[in-house]
Structure 1
């Protein structure tokens, strides 16, 4: 991590902007939205709105990074650009995922020009969810519910992936690096 004052100031300004912006506002007036239903682990089902998807990739060449929290699966090369791969499973209290033949990377652009990939166990299908069938997420002590749009009939958690990727829970900086990640 940078230690000089100018670099720290740049990082703090980025953090301030990340905290201020809401990236995944629901569509005003829309009765339903189209989502890609995905799985994390064997049973957990989630939905990612199509308007947040940039691309779906096979997880080829994902390289682990030492000293990072368990929700950072690694980085991969996407046509000459490094993309951070985030494993959302630990953020939801699930075991970190292993990459299998069914795994995929859902590439999402957040902020203005930043991209990241979400590691998912599998991609299932396209589903339309009616907004009046959604319930609010349960508040938790360990995790913000800002990046959950709602829960569909108690079965599928609909995510706000741009907000998730920009959230302090996911970001790594000199202020929130855990001792476990630093020491192994």
Structure 2
């Protein structure tokens, strides 16, 4: 790992991560990338959108593109009436809501607990994960927001 990447990981760990559960896996999004956390309501499906794009919704007067993390990661869809949450991300002029099963806490793991993606990680995960932190309770996978929101990859996700 190069020095610049190491410094970036250390900085993010010190600032913290907003965590969310998708299935049984804990995921982290760098706190500096999170705009807000909300319960998505009134999602309008977009015709011909890739399956990982759940649709559009309105949040405080702004149009938000809702990304279903389950579909983006190749996991089975959640039941229609199952509760969910969204992590609001602002990228450029666009706002996205990353839909997860449950929201967690803000964690600030030690930078030394960070590890690169294992070589046997499924490609649908490795392309959107920046690595992971080993915690006492398990592993927190760090999401790479730029890769996660890559338009070409969204089209390919099942």
TM-score by length of 2: 0.77
Instruction: Give deviations 1:69-93, integer Å, cap 9, x for gaps.
Output: 2211111012232211001212222
In structure 2, the residue matched to 1:158 is 142
Q: 1:58 to 1:136 in 2, by over 3 A?
A: same
Quick one: which of 28, 31, 35 aligns to 2:17?
A: 35
Q: Number of aligned pairs?
A: 149
Quick one: which of 63, 81, 84 aligns to 1:103?
A: 84
Rounded to whole Å, the distance in 1 between the matches of 2:151 and 2:49 is: 16
Rounded to whole Å, the distance in 2 between the matches of 1:167 and 1:61 is: 23
* 8 Å Cα contact 1:99-1:121 kept in structure 2: no
Q: Residue 112 of structure 2: SS of its match in structure 1?
A: helix
- RMSD after superposition: 2.9
In structure 1, the residue matched to 2:3 is none
Rounded to whole Å, the distance in 1 between the matches of 2:126 and 2:116 is: 9
Rounded to whole Å, the distance in 1 between the matches of 2:7 and 2:93 is: 21
Rounded to whole Å, the distance in 1 between the matches of 2:83 and 2:104 is: 10
Quick one: which of 118, 126, 141 aligns to 1:138?
A: 118
Structure 2 gaps, min length 5: 1-5
Instruction: Give deviations 1:156-180, integer Å, cap 9, x for gaps.
Output: 111122432135312x5xxx6x9xx
In structure 2, the residue matched to 1:124 is 104
Q: 1:81 to 1:92 in 2, by over 3 A?
A: same
Structure 1 gaps, min length 5: 1-24
Q: Residue 55 of structure 1: SS of its match in structure 2?
A: strand
